[in-house]
Structure 1
Amino acid sequence: MAWRLRLAPEKTNIDFFRLQWITFGLSAVMMVASIVLIATMGFNFGIDFKGGTTIRTESTAPVDVAAYRDALDGLGLGDVTITEVFDPTFRADQHVAQVRIAAQEGVEAVTPETIATVENALKAIDPAITFPSVESVGPKVSGELVRTAFLSVAGACFGIGLYIWMRFEWQYSLGTVVALIHDVLVTAGVFSLFQLKFDLTIVAALLTILGYSVNDTVVVFDRLRENLLKFKTMPLRDVMNLSVNETLGRTLVTSGTTLLALIPLLIFGGDVIRGFIFAMTFGVFIGTYSSVYVAKNIVLWIGLPRGEQAKKVSSNKFADIDA
């Protein structure tokens, strides 16, 4: 018989509800804490959402933030932030920094002439300095991007909830939407807590997390619906535990293979994509957690139709849509 790798035994009998008040309570605490963090600390918005210009510098000489600031102080640029970028993939003689110039009131973006003046001022103190990239976003555009980002995440949650409602029942839909809000809020809370840069790539990561999380949730719910028809007298809690145990191997394989791709990128991918990869990696963990400990807990508390009523629900015209 051919050898096959298993991340979980072929048959497991884990009681996922044994600590349901602790796990669900932890989720509630994390959601509330995330809301408080976002309300009090806010986000470290990138240039996409804040507006302004970011100049990326690179040199063979070590970055002297104080010297950079002294060179730019007399240019009347307003709010200027200079940060050195560290990355294990950089060469020993590769020193990178970011000069962020906030958008000025009434000005759409920093002019090319101003950017040239900044570059000349930095070259005066470090002739070896180069400028690999310059990004500019006007304040009006950045404001529109914030609204669009919020609407895109909210629209994704609504669309996924509607799909689950049509494919299963409203109880499943409510559990899924709560799990998705949980995933987005907790991930956003982590970015607020550690003041990690929050830009459009992080919004793309949040949308990807929604799709990843709901995929795992649908697999569990699909097995749950089958088992409800198969075990008509088994208590709902036991049927849910059975369904999660039966899909546990698939969940671990899916999460594990995804992490095999993400973790090397997180370590060696460089600072440009590190925020996106971190959000994705964290999202794999929190999405798997919410599928098991949040979505099905909501469904259990609401209850599901059993017997003949369950048959009637499972025969709706959307139930056989391929997931």
Structure 2
Amino acid sequence: MRLVTFRAHVGAAARLGAIVSDTVVDLQRFGEQTGHPLPDDMLEFIDLGPQTVAATTALLAEYDGRWPLGTTVPLANVKLLAPIPRPRKNIFGIGLNYVEHVAESSRTLDTSKELPKQPVIFSKPPTTVIGPGDSIEHNEAITKQLDWEVELAVIMGTRAKNVSEGNALRHVFGYSLLIDMSARDCRRAGQWIYSKGQDTYAPFGPVIVTADEIPDPHVLDLSLKVNGVTKQRSNTRYMLFKVPTLIADISAGITLEPGDIIATGTPEGVGAGRNPQEWVWPGDVIEATLEKIGELRNPVVGVGSAGFERANARRA
């Protein structure tokens, strides 16, 4: 399934939906009409477990093309939100997880040129999350080095504590796309959370594709453009630590729970690694794509009109 959180119109409540062709099926209303109660919230749906995913997938296939009245809306008419608009916990971020990114980071940032022996883990608070089309805030008073990173996001489906790599993927609910924004000049004594954890620094979506549709998350093309110019282009096969390793490593000491999100790292091509270095400013537009998931397009805006004008003057 391709699951979304959406608003049917401005001011409407957020709803849980499934995209079928060019239609969004409102799952709660669909469940009511078909006698199979379903929630209107993504986290509540994830909590119901793998059996609900299988049953809902079968039910959607059964009714495809003959949807009960009042249960669908054209995809073109809805506003997509982040699939999980407010995660319960911080996002688990993975740093330096592509070999080429390790090399470019060591040239321009205070990171080692040696490949990590274990996953490098940081976190991004729930308040970083925004959805498709939402604005990334640029606060010039805080940063003048705002950078981009395109990443595969893993969404956990069942509790994982000290799981093996061999069993790790069984705990995955699905996959999505995340842009890990980073204020490179806001790292503090080697700590990354203020650099990566500021409000709006995690555009997320546009959908969660359930794990049954992506049996291997390590064969996906991913890319990112700034103002239409390609900056990153790679494939998840080049991850240093694959998804099962990440789940096993994190769960050895931190219990992963349903709805937890792991952002799996970015390939080379970030602004900090370029010569000369490049940063995004108000007026710029970031577009990220991930095979089988879709595209995120998010504009960068200044915090306050004065910040917008100063940033545009600098770019000119």
TM-score category of the 2 structures, normalised to the smaller one = under 0.3
Q: More strand per residue: 1 or 2? A: 2
Q: Which has the higher contact order (CA 8 A, sep 6+)?
A: 1
Greater C-alpha radius of gyration:
1
Normalised by the length of structure 2, the TM-score is 0.24
